[in-house]
Amino acid sequence: MTDAISLIRAKRDGQRLADDDIKWLFEAYARHEVADEQMSALLMAIYFRGLDGAELRTWTAAMIASGDRLDLSSVGRPTVDKHSTGGVGDKVSLILAPLVAACGAAVPQLSGRGLGHTGGTLDKLESIPGFRAGLTPDETLAVLASVGCVICAAGSGLAPADRRLYALRDVTATVESIPLIASSIMSKKIAEGTSALVLDVKVGSGAFMTSYERARELAETMVALGEEHGVRTRALLTRMDVPLGRAVGNAVEVEESVLALQGHGPGDLMEVTLALARQMLALAGLAGDKAGDPAAAIADGRALAAYRAMVRAQGGDPDAPLPQAAHTQVLAAPASGWLTSLDALAVGIAAWRLGAGRARKEDDVSASAGIICLAKPGEAVQAGQPLLELRADEPERFGPALAALEGAVAVSDQGPPPALSPVISEVGPA
């Protein structure tokens, strides 16, 4: 007879878990017959010992089976979604979902909130007056069918085991395990019912994966899981050493997203967005003609129209003024020359301290707080020139934010650094 202690001991000692044992574990955990402290012990054993491919496939399937699966067959368009592992200034979803919808696909984007130095898509959209992120499954399907895209919170019925496991990982220092990250992300994405998925795996100081090797391992693991569960899956590895775009925060990132949809987005932001869009449209079978050209959909206004329709369908007013911070302060260039670095992690922590992020899931965030990058690496600057504009609702937040930015900026007189594409590489099925 299977019991939790035997499974903990087996994984602790480096043995693999049988499929039936994993299925029993999740069923017993749902019935509260396996205690949280026992599951925590098993998660720590997995952190050190890992899960092989077969174990991970069964583990992920059990997480999916713990709840509901959305049926998107009534939508009437090919379905494709995107997931980012999180970064600083990463507002890509706000642009990408309506852009890909404007090209003929349906994008069921179930998103999350920010924690720590990485921003949350839902926090950004909720800075729009009236916008509702909490939709019922029927509302989600209705918006998807009428507009072609929806960005909302995952309902409590999708992979509920993941919610409980993530809470345990968060307080037991087991978040960084690649099998546990992969199963957490992919169980929710598979349960949402999409036919295809493109992953944006961030690499660098502002990402959860700071090394290329670990980021690629995570990408390959998630692509394999998606394919094994019948979801056509690809991944792009993209840089996150520098904030993406120029805005970091909530309302400020919405503003930049609208500018991008109007054809005025920063080059790095648009390169990542268009690369992901092309991957998504290829997986959805919509690439190759003008209707499936994302650059054309921005140029002719279709993408912006889809964004405005999505915001309205979710209760928001796309014409309403966005919240503005009461106080601003600038960080100036320490010398003249070329800006060679702007550390994404430091900027993300500073924005968090200004009020744009949260330390705990239950914390509130400021819609108006954030940072505008007035200069980016590769640009010439003059001593005393404003590099960053900090925005906050309370002036006492500037001191801690500026402290986080100490050492984040480097200026050199040796000429501009070489330009690096933000898109590093592509990962497909093995």
Active-site residue (options: 90, 162, 241, 293): 162
Which of 37, 39, 27 has the alpha carbon at shortest distance from 63? 27
Q: Indicate if 81 belongs to the active site.
A: no
Active-site residue (options: 111, 184, 195, 368): 184
Alpha carbon 353 to chain centroid distance? 20
Q: Quick one: which H or E segment has residue 72? A: none
Burial of 357 (0-12, 13-18, 19+ CB in 10 A): buried
Give every strand in the sheet of 247-249, ordered side by side: 247-249, 370-373, 386-392, 327-332
Active-site residue (options: 82, 91, 124, 188): 188
3-class DSSP state for residue 3?
coil
Q: Indicate if 83 belongs to the active site.
A: yes
CA-CA-CA-CA torsion sign (119, 125, 128, 129) = negative
Q: Indicate if 336 belongs to the active site.
A: no
Q: Indicate if 188 belongs to the active site.
A: yes
Sequence-ordered alpha helix ranges (H) in 173-231: 178-191, 212-228
Q: How far apart are CA 424 and CA 430, in angstroms?
A: 18
Q: Indicate if 169 belongs to the active site.
A: yes
- Residue 130 is encoded by which pair of tokens? 């009236």
Active-site residue (options: 169, 189, 239, 278): 169
Q: How far apart are CA 230 and CA 295, in angstroms?
A: 29
List, by residue number, the catalytic residues: 83, 162, 169, 184, 188
